[in-house]
C-alpha cells in the first residue's frame, strides 16, 4: 500500500486543506493527515482539538487516517511507512519555503519524496491565519471551514 503523510498545524483545518487531501487521495492509497505539535508556534487549538476537528471534517474519507507528531516530519513519515510528504502550494510565495524544506527533508531521508499539490484556485488565498483573524473579529468563516471548525471558532472567540 502506497502511503503518504500530509503534515501541518491545521490550526484550524480549512477547505483549502481538505482540497489538498482530496487530491492526495486520488493519487495514493492512504493519506495520513498529521497534526504537527510545533513548539515554535503558538496555536489557538490544542493538538487534541485539531485532531478532533480533522476527524469530524474527514469522516467520509475512507483512505484517510488522522495522526499527530512532534519532532522531524521525515522521522514521522518513516514510522508511518509513508513514501512521501504532501505539501500544499498556494502561491509562488509559498514555493521558496517549501522548496527549502523539501531539500532539507531529502538530505535527512532521501527515500522520502516531497510532493507539492496545488489547491483549486478558489482556495489560493485561504490559510488558517486569515480564518483565525476573521473569526476573532466575529466575521463569517462558514464558507472557508467545515461546520465543526466554524462552531469551535465561535466558542473560542465568544464575547465575554
CATH number listed for the domain at residues 3-156: 3.40.50.620
pLDDT digits (tens, 9 = 90+) for 94-143: 899 999 999 999 999 999 999 999 999 999 888 999 999 999 999 999 99
pLDDT digits (tens, 9 = 90+) for 49-104: 999 999 999 999 999 999 999 999 999 999 999 999 999 998 888 899 999 999 99
DSSP 142: T
- Choose the catalytic residue: 76, 128, 132, 152: 128
Question: Which residue is associated with the grid cell 500544499?
Answer: 88
Q: Which residues are CB-contacts of 33 (< 8 A; sequence separation ≥ 6)?
A: 5, 6, 8, 10, 21, 54, 58, 64, 65, 66, 67
Annotated domain spans of the chain = 3-156
Q: What is the pTM of this model?
A: 0.94
**Is residue 24 within 8 Å of residue 4, measured between CB atoms?**
yes
Q: Is 128 a catalytic residue?
A: yes
Nearest to 17 by CA among 124, 134, 156: 124
Q: Is 76 a catalytic residue?
A: no
Q: Is 41 a catalytic residue?
A: yes
14 three-state secondary structure? coil
Q: Is 17 a catalytic residue?
A: yes
Helix and strand counts by DSSP (H, E) for the chain: 6, 5
Amino acid at each position: 500500500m502506497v502511503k503518504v503523510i500530509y503534515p501541518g498545524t491545521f490550526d484550524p483545518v480549512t477547505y483549502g486543506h481538505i482540497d489538498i487531501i482530496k487530491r492526495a487521495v486520488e493519487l495514493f492509497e492512504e493519506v495520513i493527515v498529521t497534526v504537527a505539535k510545533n513548539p515554535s508556534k503558538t496555536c489557538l487549538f490544542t493538538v487534541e482539538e485539531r485532531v478532533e476537528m480533522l476527524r469530524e471534517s474527514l469522516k467520509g474519507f475512507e483512505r484517510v487516517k488522522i495522526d499527530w507528531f512532534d519532532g522531524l516530519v521525515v522521522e514521522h513519515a518513516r514510522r508511518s511507512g509513508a513514501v512521501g510528504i504532501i505539501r500544499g502550494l498556494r502561491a509562488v510565495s509559498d514555493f521558496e519555503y517549501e522548496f527549502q524544506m523539501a531539500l532539507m527533508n531529502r538530505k535527512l531521508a532521501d527515500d522520502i519524496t516531497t510532493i507539492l499539490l496545488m489547491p483549486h484556485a478558489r482556495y489560493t488565498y485561504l490559510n488558517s491565519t486569515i480564518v483565525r483573524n476573521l473569526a476573532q473579529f466575529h466575521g463569517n468563516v462558514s464558507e472557508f471551514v467545515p461546520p465543526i471548525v466554524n462552531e469551535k471558532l465561535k466558542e473560542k472567540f465568544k464575547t465575554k
